[in-house]
């Protein structure tokens, strides 16, 4: 099925199952510990061995030698794999990192060997016996030091243009009566997902099966084939449940390649998991940025010039952090300029982390908007509303498919009690605590991508859906089940959902906020075909046929749905593809975040008091799941604002705090109260589902709302994330 014109009325609009706050259908499996994650397929493999990945002990240089003698003689050791013995290995088509390095070392903890033994403990002990000699060379680890020589990024499939210009930015900014020119920095961050990267690999002749924690099955199969140089049809990849990804498990990383190579060398299935301290420096992370923002406006608050430049770093050939993405679409302004530069750094690869680009860019832009509002003596909400636009500011005439940013801001302000905010910073005190409120807008793209599904109907009336879509904790099983139930006129108990297997039809997987809208649209397409097959089997016309309460009704006749499969199970498959509506319309999601904080006037400690998110993301497929996604994202935003920072040792060249003891993330006590308002709507330009993603929108802008609240509480403007107490304490006045 091809979606080329805006959707009209269709069976999804019945909203008997879709749109309901439905519990997760896989919830009982997860809460009872019976959901099977990558490392736990014990029934699928007999007598597995264990692999332990050894990371490089230097950040840049070469391996001189590896003495394996003691390790090979250690108890239980079955094999040791290095780049010298692994055979030719290439890099995948998304990540640029070499997943088993040698002799050249590109970054600290890059995988240099896999030790395989009968038990995990034996493999780990033997790995410590490897004697690896290195020759160190000078590396680059400091973004600020590399900033001035950083070239413009190179255009690519995952990169925007390096520079955008509309109008005459420099001239308009120079002549603007009110100006802002500030620099903001965001640090390197790690995904900190609950489940570490893990894989079980098994060879049957030249056929490879991997049970892995990976977000995009299709990319995974492609990249395993590319790295190992084997045909795609010889690979099966299974990822039924994933304990968090946030972009950090997009495609193939070192655990998968290590397990595959180790299993081939040992002649047995092999389990590999990356220990937590290895993840930060071995896998991908969100790269740090330095951002310069310039805004020019007239005294009445009309933006006349808006410019955003960003610098980030990465391995050679890697992608940049696209921090200017939101600026290009969020606010009006006739004269506009953005630019992205990327320095080559010898740190672990920078890549996607929840809302890549928008999250970091809005951490800066939404502080800048508050600073500009203060210069104009305007309320920050009013300033944002004044500069709303209903068309793409880079392409006048190209309208947004739907855009309720103003309603998000107005609704949030009313619900949050924004009228009680004191414009003068430091005006509200409760004992030792200074109280402040902050706001930020939110915008995140709403892409939809080709997605396929297979749907089966049994004589018992059970509908089974198969697609290689993954569930990273987002509720994919449930919304896909809801889609099939709505389309086929059955209850959710009569739907079986099977996900995360490369033998199923191809979806785009989980990532980029495209998963929900895309995967459900593929299921919609398959169900349309199944409805036709049912009508043909029953000898009725599909025109006017109704699928209701497990029955198929045509005229004055009614049939149990399962009767269509009495002779044989009905099996159909289809995919949803797209025309040019995404070019005709700017398709995005919008929101507003409101935060209240308390800052201790003696210690500088910051406490979140309450949070509100108002989100506009098309039809909400499952309000309960959507709310869960948003509050999780809000929590992550608090981490970005106040805690999260991979600290770079700029001499040795590695992230120092590479575990959850040193890398701080919010806990329950940090998040006392969260509220979410979903502005339910439909966007017929997206797909027949009329829905958009929401999982990344909930993060965008949160950190800036926190930062703006801290400023409102204290009068101290911090432009360097995270906002830790040491950046406040010597500026606080304990006497008010």
* DSSP state string for 105-174: E-STT-EEEEEEESSHHHHHHHHTT-EEEEEE------HHHHGGGPPBPPPBTTB--SEEEES-HHHHHH
List Cα–Cα distances, 363 to 43, 289, 661, 718, in angstroms.
Answer: 46, 10, 25, 11
Reported as type and span, the H/E element at residue 595 is: strand 588-600
Q: From the CB of residue 497, how many other CB atoms can be counted at a distance below 10 Å?
A: 25
Q: Is 696 a catalytic residue?
A: yes
| Helix (H) or strand (E) run with residue 546 in it | strand 546-548
Is 623 buried (19+), middle (13-18) or exposed (0-12) by CB count in 10 A? middle
Residue with tokens 């003068």: 424
Residue 215 φ then ψ, to 5°: -80, -35
CB 507 within 8 A of CB 452: yes
Residue of 407, 546, 696, 720 with catalytic role: 696
**Are the C-beta atoms of 292 and 306 separated by less than 8 Å?**
no
The answer to whether 154 touches 322, Cβ cutoff 8 Å, is: no
Q: Find tokens 């290195």 and name the residue.
A: 134
| 143: helix, strand or coil | helix
Single out the residue of 108, 157, 188, 84 nearest to residue 317, CA to CA: 157
For residue 503, give the 3-state DSSP assignment: coil
- Please count the CA atoms within 13 angstroms of the CA of 523 that sit on its side-chain side: 35
On whether the CB atoms of residues 673 and 609 are closer than 8 A, the answer is yes
Alpha helices in 435-514 (DSSP H): 476-488
Whole-angstrom Cα distance, residue 100 to residue 107?
12
3-class DSSP state of 530:
helix
Q: Which residues are catalytic?
A: 696
């Amino acid at each position: 099925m091809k979606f080329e014109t805006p959707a009209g009325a269709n069976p999804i609009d019945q909203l008997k199952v879709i749109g309901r706050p439905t519990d997760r259908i896989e919830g009982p499996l997860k809460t009872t510990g019976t959901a099977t994650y990558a490392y736990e397929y014990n029934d699928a493999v007999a007598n597995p061995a264990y692999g332990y990945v050894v990371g490089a002990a230097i950040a840049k240089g070469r391996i001189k030698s590896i003495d394996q003698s003691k390790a090979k003689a250690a108890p239980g050791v079955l094999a040791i794999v290095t780049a010298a013995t692994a055979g030719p290995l290439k890099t995948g088509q998304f990540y640029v990192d070499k997943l088993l390095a040698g002799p050249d070392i590109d970054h600290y903890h890059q995988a240099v060997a896999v030790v395989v033994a009968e038990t995990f403990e034996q493999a780990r002990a033997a790995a410590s016996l490897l004697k690896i000699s290195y020759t160190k060379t000078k590396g680059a680890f400091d973004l600020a030091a590399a900033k001035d020589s950083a070239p413009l990024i190179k255009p690519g499939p995952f990169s925007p243009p390096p520079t955008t210009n509309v109008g005459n930015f420099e001239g308009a900014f120079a002549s603007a009566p009110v100006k802002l020119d500030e620099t903001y920095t965001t640090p390197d961050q790690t995904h900190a997902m609950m489940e570490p990267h893990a894989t079980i690999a098994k060879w049957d002749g030249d056929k490879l099966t991997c049970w892995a924690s990976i977000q995009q099955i299709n990319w995974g199969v492609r990249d395993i084939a590319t790295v190992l140089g084997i045909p795609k049809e010889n690979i099966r990849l299974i990822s039924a449940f994933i304990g968090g990804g946030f972009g950090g498990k997009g495609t193939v990383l070192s655990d998968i390649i290590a397990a595959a190579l180790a299993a081939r060398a040992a002649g047995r299935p092999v389990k590999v998991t990356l220990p937590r301290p290895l993840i930060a420096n071995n896998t991908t992370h969100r790269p740090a940025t330095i951002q310069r923002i310039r805004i020019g406006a007239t005294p009445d608050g009309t933006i006349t010039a808006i410019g955003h430049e960003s610098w980030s770093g990465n391995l050679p050939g890697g992608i940049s952090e696209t921090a200017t993405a939101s600026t290009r679409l969020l606010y009006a302004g006739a004269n506009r300029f953005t630019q992205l530069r990327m320095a080559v750094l010898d740190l672990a690869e920078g890549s996607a982390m929840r809302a890549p680009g928008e999250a970091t860019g809005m951490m800066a832009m939404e502080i800048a908007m508050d600073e500009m509002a203060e210069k104009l003596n305007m309320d920050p909400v009013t300033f944002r509303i004044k500069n709303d636009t209903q068309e793409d500011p880079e392409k006048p005439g190209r309208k947004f498919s739907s855009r309720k940013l103003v309603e998000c801001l107005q609704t949030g302000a009313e619900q949050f009690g924004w009228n009680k905010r004191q414009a003068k910073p430091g005006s509200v005190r409760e004992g030792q605590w200074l109280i402040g409120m902050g706001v930020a807008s939110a915008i995140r793209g709403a892409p939809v991508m080709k997605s396929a599904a297979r749907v089966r109907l049994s004589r018992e009336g059970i509908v089974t859906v198969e697609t290689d879509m993954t569930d990273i904790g987002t509720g994919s099983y449930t919304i896909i089940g809801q889609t099939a139930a709505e389309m086929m006129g059955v209850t959710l108990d009569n739907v079986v959902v099977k996900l995360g297997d490369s033998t199923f039809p191809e979806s785009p997987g989980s990532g980029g906020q495209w998963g929900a809208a895309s995967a459900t649209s593929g299921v919609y397409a398959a169900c349309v075909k199944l409805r036709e097959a049912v009508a043909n089997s029953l000898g009725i016309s599909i025109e006017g046929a109704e699928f209701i309460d497990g029955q198929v009704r045509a005229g004055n006749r009614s049939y149990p749905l399962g009767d269509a499969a009495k002779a044989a199970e009905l099996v159909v498959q289809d995919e949803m593809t797209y025309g040019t509506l995404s070019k005709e319309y700017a398709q995005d999601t919008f929101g507003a975040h409101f935060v209240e904080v308390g800052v201790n006037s003696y210690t500088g400690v910051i406490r979140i008091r309450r949070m509100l998110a108002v989100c506009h993301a098309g039809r909400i497929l499952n309000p309960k799941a959507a709310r869960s996604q948003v509050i999780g994202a809000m929590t992550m935003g608090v981490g970005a604002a106040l805690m999260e920072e991979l600290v770079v040792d700029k001499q040795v060249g590695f992230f120092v705090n590479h575990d959850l003891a040193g890398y701080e993330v919010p806990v329950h006590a940090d998040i006392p109260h969260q509220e979410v308002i979903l502005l339910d709507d439909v966007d017929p330009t997206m797909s027949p589902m009329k829905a958009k993603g929401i999982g990344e929108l909930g993060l965008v802008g949160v950190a800036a709302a926190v930062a703006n609240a801290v400023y409102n509480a204290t009068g101290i403007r911090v432009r360097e994330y995270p906002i830790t107490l040491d950046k406040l304490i010597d500026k606080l006045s304990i006497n008010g």
